[in-house]
Amino acid sequence: MTVLQKKAANPIGHLSPEDIEEIGRRLDEIRAEVIASRGARDAAYIRKVISVQRKLELGSRAVLLLSIFPPAWLIGTAGLSVAKILDNMEIGHNILHGQWDWMRDPKIHSTTYEWDHASPAEQWKHAHNDLHHTFTNVVGKDNDLGYGIMRVDEDQRWYPLYLAQPFWNFVNALFFEYGIAAYDLELGKNLATKERRQDPAFKARAKQVLKKIRGQMTKDYVVHPLLSGPSVLHTLAANAVANMIRNVWSHSVIMCGHFPEGVETFEKKSIDGETRGEWYLRQMLGSANISGGRAMHIMTGNLSYQIEHHLFPDLPSNRYQEIAPKVRAIFDEYNLRYTTGPLPKQVASAWAKVFRLSLPNDFAAKLRLGRPVGPGRAGLPAT
């Protein structure tokens, strides 16, 4: 089925086609249970998060009016960073997935929500929901996997350019929202030829992105600084820092979702004629969770339950935590590897992979940067 089969220990070699369809059936059941029980409690949850986010944002912006005073700067910047993270992760990302469409509230709906982010919601939804979630971890199809600029799998050919990929990854982390806007626009592909550059559809989308970025910049780097009077430069710096903290945070969380050791990648042709069960299986093996407390889950937009999210992208995020034990039981029963770990460990693991893949395979092996064999895989029969 996948690149997996070429690996020393095929993590799904022990599953029969019937097993795979049974896994699919059981996951469908979990999904149906959640859908049947969505209700007032869930609606109250997202409304509460939105209300906290708005108040925190207003409060932090107000404190930053006095950002010339260092304590105000620190508190305001911290608050604004958290507010921006909440807006992008638990609120924006999840609303744009349609997780809350069932409430029929036009203000909390995937077709109307716009987020505090450089990429217009409309374009992000296409790139993320239609492409990334459909082609999860399929090398060459899933732009989230290395964003088209990095080597993400041993099977990809090495070029000297990849030596710089740790640096690119770091720059991408700092300016992540613009990186996302760029690959939602498929900038690399669309700037490549004159014909593509002049395509009216591309030009219209590019205009839309520039307009969004102008609005974002005006807010953070003109209006709020000017409103702060004597604190003008301090507020400007505070907003820039808050944006960067948000960028680095979301970049880290997203790297943890598909990049740590233990997460599998797939070949393009492996998904031809994929069944529902096989699709589920790819999501199961292509995602990794982050362990932690409640605050951590909210701050990651519950992408700490990346596995559950990828199985059921449109279920309300507050439910991932609840279904995680049931999902994990299926992994255990079928002897599959449920990749999870605390944030620092997963971030380190993802970065280690970025470094390792920046080198040619044989060179990395010599440096003993070789792909570690995970505990889940060790128990599986080799094919």
Partner 1 sequence: MTTFASDPRARTTFRSRLRDRAWQVAAAATHPRDPADYLDMFRPLRAGADLRARVVEVRPENSNAVTVVLRPGNAWRGHRPGQYVRIGLEVDGVRLWRSYSLTSAPGDGLITITAKAVPDGVVSAHLAQELRPGQLVHLDQAVGDFVLPDPAPAKILFVTGGSGITPVMGMLRAGLGRFEDAVLVHSEANADAVLFGDELRDYAAAGHLRLVEQHTDTQGRLDVAALADVVPDLAERETWACGPAGLLDALEEQWSGVLHTERFRTPLVEPGEGGSVTFSATGTTVELDGATPILDAGEQNGVLMPSGCRMGICFSCVLPLRSGAVRDLRTGEVTTAAPGDGVLVQTCISAAAGACDIDC
Interaction between residue 197 and partner 1 (CB under 8 A): no
Render 267-279 in DSSP notation, one character per residue. Answer: -GGGGTT--HHHH
**Stretch of 47-55, 149-157, 234-242, 336-344 lying at the interface with partner 1 (CB under 8 A):** 47-55
Query: What whole-number distance in Å separates Cα of residue 45 and Cα of residue 278?
Result: 33
User: What is the contact mask toward partner 1 in residues 333 to 372, using x (rule: CB under 8 A)?
Assistant: ----------------------------------------
Q: Is 212 in the site for partner 1 (CB under 8 A)?
A: yes
Q: Compute how many residues bind partner 1; rule: CB under 8 A.
A: 35
Identify any residues that bridge with 291 across adjacent strands, giving them in sequence order: 342
Residue 104 touching partner 1 (CB under 8 A): yes
Q: Which of 115, 280, 320, 338 binds partner 1 (CB under 8 A)?
A: 115
- Nearest approach in angstroms of CB 43 to partner 1 is 3
- Confirm if 80 and 238 have CB atoms less than 8 A apart: yes
- The reply to whether 48 sits near partner 1 by the rule CB under 8 A is no
Q: Which is nearer to partner 1, 259 or 312 (CB)?
A: 312
Strand 289-291 with 340-342, pairing: parallel
Cβ-Cβ contacts under 8 Å for 229 (sequence gap 6 or more): 65
Residue 38 within binding range of partner 1, rule CB under 8 A: yes
CA distance 347 to 349: 5
Tokens linked to 248: 């680095």
The verdict on 116 binding partner 1 (CB under 8 A) reads yes
Closest of 96, 13, 107, 102 to residue 51, by C-alpha = 107
**Minimum gap (Å) between residue 218 Cβ and partner 1:** 6
Q: Please tell me whether residue 89 binds partner 1 under the rule CB under 8 A.
A: no
**Tokens coding 349:** 């693991």
- Which of 6, 33, 112, 193 is the binder for partner 1 (CB under 8 A)? 112
Structure tokens at 72: 């105000």
Give me the least distance between CB of 104 and partner 1, in Å please: 4
Distance CA 376, CA 339 (A): 9
The tokens describing 27, both together, are: 């996951």
Q: Which residue has the tokens 């300016």?
A: 175
SS3 88: helix
- Considering the complex, state which of residue 90 and residue 154 has its C-beta at the smaller distance from partner 1: 90
Give me the residues that bind partner 1 (CB under 8 A), please. 38-44, 51, 54-55, 58, 61, 98, 101-107, 109, 111-112, 114-116, 212, 215-216, 218-219, 222-224, 227
